[in-house]
């Protein structure tokens, strides 16, 4: 029995209205603003494609894009390698302690990027100096004071935060691998290495699609952690693209120009996500 037409729309109305007000209308407006000079209150001029043309000569913006890309690549690799390793670890038959492990590894995920950023600011600035004093290792000195340590600081923070999340996803797939299959592989003489790569790995391929998709898009959209850990410093050298957009919009008040950046950001994210889904889905079927 279907809904009557009236009830159908009544049930959908609140959610669709919110979608319209929050995403669809602002999205349309956003495209319009990106072709204008806009200060947040009124559009002072229609400038055509000028905002978009200026993007490519905006060194700081281009730099922030590359910085974000580098950060995303390093994070995606780190998170997936560590997340999968943790998942393999907690799915061994270790008894009740594996629940404790899971709880601990997942914990950073529950806490917001702002607070995690501050926690790691303390670790990098104070605790690392303490470690350097204790061990005499200079590698622990001067963290977050230059671009390189700022970059790796962000990567470490994000990997620490997200690995537990990705672990949970891998765990749910690993648990679905039938025991008989692994036993059969062992009986047929496969060693641990072979039974992982030849039997388990293809079974958890969909988990890679999900995890890569999630980590990649989350890494590209990182803002809170960046804000709290380095706030883009020193001298904007660890400024990610989201922070660049925010600053252009709300600090410099060039909202039209910021909106052009935001639209390009959307195009890049969509392109990467679609490409990545396409490639991994294709590989999944090949396995």
Closer of 111 and 137 to another protein (Cβ): 111
Quote the least distance from Cβ 61 to another protein, whole Å: 13
Q: How far is Cα 145 from Cα 153, in angstroms, rounded to an integer?
A: 10
Q: Binding mask 198-227 vs another protein (x if CB under 8 A, - otherwise)?
A: ------------x---x--x---x-xx--x
Taking CB under 8 A as the criterion, the residue among 46, 270, 278, 281 binding another protein is 270
Task: Say which residue the tokens 């047929």 belong to.
Answer: 188
Q: Report the DSSP beta bridge partners of residue 37.
A: 45
- Residue 112, classed as helix, strand or coil, is coil
Residue 229 interacts with another protein (CB under 8 A): yes or no: no
What are residue 43's DSSP bridge partners?
Answer: 38
Q: Burial code of 98-126, b = ≥16 C-beta within 10 A, e = fewer?
A: eeebbeebbebbeeebeebbebbbebbee
How is residue 117 annotated by DSSP?
Answer: H
Identify the residue whose tokens are 């799915």.
91
- Binding residue (CB under 8 A) for another protein from 46, 66, 197, 250: 250
CA angle 106, 108, 111 (to 5 degrees): 125
Q: Which of 55, 62, 69, 123 binds another protein (CB under 8 A)?
A: 123
- Among the residue ranges 53-61, 92-100, 138-146, 197-205, the one whose residues contact another protein (CB under 8 A): 92-100
Considering the complex, state which of residue 199 and residue 264 has its C-beta at the smaller distance from another protein. Answer: 264
Among 172, 237, 247, 276, binds another protein (CB under 8 A): 172
Site map 35..74 versus another protein, x via CB under 8 A: -----xx---------------------------------
């Amino acid at each position: 029995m279907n809904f009557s037409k009236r009830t159908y729309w009544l049930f959908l109305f609140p959610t669709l209205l919110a979608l319209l007000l929050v995403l669809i209308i602002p999205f349309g407006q956003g495209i319009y603003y990106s072709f204008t000079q806009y200060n947040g209150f009124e559009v002072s001029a229609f400038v055509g494609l000028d905002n978009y043309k200026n993007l490519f000569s905006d060194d700081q913006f281009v730099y922030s894009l590359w910085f974000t890309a580098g950060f995303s690549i390093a994070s995606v690799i780190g998170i997936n390698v560590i997340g999968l390793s943790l998942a393999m670890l907690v799915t061994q038959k270790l008894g009740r302690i594996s629940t404790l492990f899971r709880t601990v590894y997942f914990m950073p995920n529950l806490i917001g990027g702002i607070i995690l950023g501050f926690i790691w600011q303390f670790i990098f600035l104070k605790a690392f100096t303490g470690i350097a004093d204790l061990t005499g290792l200079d590698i622990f000195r001067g963290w977050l004071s230059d671009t390189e340590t700022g970059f790796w600081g962000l990567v470490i923070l994000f990997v620490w935060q997200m690995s537990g999340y990705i672990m949970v996803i891998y765990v749910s797939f690993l648990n679905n691998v039938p025991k008989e299959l692994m036993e059969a592989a062992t009986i047929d003489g496969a060693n641990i290495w072979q039974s992982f790569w030849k039997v388990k790995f293809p079974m958890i391929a969909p988990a890679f699609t999900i995890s890569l998709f999630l980590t990649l898009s989350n890494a590209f959209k990182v803002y809170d952690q960046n804000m709290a850990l380095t706030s883009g410093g020193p001298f904007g050298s660890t400024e990610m693209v989201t922070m660049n957009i925010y600053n252009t919009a709300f600090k410099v008040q060039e909202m039209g120009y910021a909106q052009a950046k935001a639209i390009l950001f959307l195009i890049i994210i969509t392109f990467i996500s679609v490409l990545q889904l396409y490639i991994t889905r294709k590989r999944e079927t090949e396995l």
